[in-house]
Homo-oligomer: A and B are copies of this chain.
Amino acid sequence: MVRILELVGLFVFAISGALTAIQRKFDAVGIVILAEVTALGGGVLRDVIIGATPPAAFQKVQYLLVPLAAAAVAFFAHPVVERLSFFVLLFDAAGLGLFCVTGTLTALEHGLGPVQSAVLGVTTGVGGGLLRDVIARQTPALVRADSDLYSIPAMIGAAAVTVAHAAHLPMVVAAPATAVFVFAFRVLAMVRHWTAPQAWTRRTPR
């Protein structure tokens, strides 16, 4: 179940990379590269920092093939995919919830402290999108003042996992509950267009 959701999450992350490449008029190679980097970049960063090499993304071949399939779908059918953008964003939120939780747990299992593990959990969720935006030469959605909250739900979720871990709560309950919370928070932020504040004196009245 988790394994299937993980592949769905990778697929949707890859779709967002492939669509970015298509919007930027990259060629087929660019579509594949951006799909792979967006889907796998966050987890690879986490594993390289932890020292868990080769990263999980390079241990099972499906982790490389699923983003390739997403790139192919986007290549041939991107107008359809774009029309389904609400569902893409919905699955993306599910992927965010899943990956920030599993990323935090992976770091905790490797003996990192709670703050460090939470940082790496967030990195797992948002790192791929950051790399996507750097390669596509656009201001990272992660830091843009006009983008709906994305990493803040992930930060709260990652922190919650470390608290649950420290309190020895049963992870089989706490982990999915946190993932669902991150998913719901992210979806609410999209629907209500919640944004993070800018630095104090830059805030303009609305």
Contact = CB atoms under 8 A, between A and B. Distances in A.
A33 B112 CA distance: 20
Contact of A78 (B58, B75, B110, B199): B199
A64 B115 contact: yes
A26 B143 contact: yes
A51 interface: yes
A137 B135 contact: no
This chain: copies in complex: 3
Contacts of A74: 199
A109 B59 CA distance: 15
Closest 3 CB pairs of A and B: A30-B143, A51-B53, A27-B196
25 contacts: A24-B139, A25-B145, A25-B202, A26-B143, A27-B143, A27-B147, A27-B195, A27-B196, A27-B197, A29-B142, A29-B143, A29-B196, A30-B140, A33-B143, A36-B119, A48-B53, A58-B119, A64-B116, A64-B119, A74-B199, A75-B199, A76-B199, A134-B134, A135-B140, A137-B139
